[in-house]
Amino acid sequence: MLRNHADEQRQPDGRLTGSTGISAMTGKHPRIQKVSMKSQIAHVGMGDRIMVFFRRLWLFGWNQALCCVFPVVLFAAMALTKMVELPYVHRYDLILLVAVATQAAMLLSKLETMDELKVITMFHLIGLGLELFKVHMGSWSYPGEAWSKVYGVPLYSGFMYASVASYICQAWRRFDLKFERWPNGRMTTALAVLIYANFFTHHAMPDIRWGLTACLPLLFARSTVRFTVDGRPYRMHVLVSFALVAFFIWLAENISTLLGAFQYPHQAERWSLVHWGKMSSWFLLVIISVIIVVQLKDLKRQIGEGKG
């Protein structure tokens, strides 16, 4: 049998060293040792990856919680005012005071910026206009009494829409949201106008929400949203993100009606689940919200560049 003498040396005691000598002393082939070392490194690497995963999951959850500060406070106010009554203060008025105080506290504590407050105020007015029309048409009602009621609509109701805007603005900043391959601004603005108008016109004209929804995969076919957690970017298709937000708003709506914040006609006798079809409305409303925020961000960027 031929040996490769370049890989081995004979020691004074007669033992061979080199590849053959190592094998003889350890009883393991060098290649087996290398595989074993690689498996140990892979094992350590897997542990590190698991730790990183849970750290990022924690950071994602924590930032999501911070994004939901205003909605959570609003729902907490609805729950507490259902269980506890204050003399001479109507429930809806108290919820309004809590909402205003929370916005002031978030602004003073730097949890919210002045620009974000402006966006939230805009959404409050947009939502209040929709509420006035829908209550007038009998879509839902606010049975409780309040000093702050205008044509049957308590002023706090606009904050339910503003809470969606608050979440979007907070998420934009905390997750460094970036929309990629966003459609033409004129097309998205026209879409937002049509969606909002349809909330009003479908009472007297054909409801075109499903036609508008059918246009979305074409308009946002290549659009993604990039968000960052712990320095690592992730991507998601925008329509998936819209659907997820709409689903959680629908859950929040069920909680709101359960707490008596408002009620649909079918909930007048006893509470029951809000119809699944309402998610389509929230889905379209989320799209309006994001389009408005995107357009405002773009407008601010253009103004900044003009001053520069």
pLDDT for residue 102: 94
For the chain (308 residues), the mean pLDDT of every run of 10, in chain order, is 45 46 44 50 66 88 89 87 84 93 93 89 92 90 90 92 90 92 91 92 89 93 93 93 89 82 78 83 90 83 69
What's this model's pTM, rounded to 2 decimal places?
A: 0.75
Tell me the residue type at 217: P
Q: Name the token pair of 18.
A: 């080199």
What are the residue boundaries of the structural domains of the chain, listed by start? 18-67, 70-307
Contact 74, 102 (CB under 8 A): yes
Distance CA(229)–CA(237), nearest Å, equals 17
Tell me the residue type at 269: E
Contact 210, 194 (CB under 8 A): no
Distance CA(71)–CA(66), nearest Å, equals 10
pLDDT for residue 155: 93
Residue 141 per-residue DSSP state? B
pLDDT for residue 240: 95
pLDDT for residue 191: 93
pLDDT for residue 295: 86
pLDDT for residue 43: 53
Distance CA(98)–CA(91), nearest Å, equals 11
Q: Pick from 141, 70, 60: which is nearest to 103 by CA?
A: 70
Q: Name the token pair of 38.
A: 């690689």
pLDDT for residue 37: 47
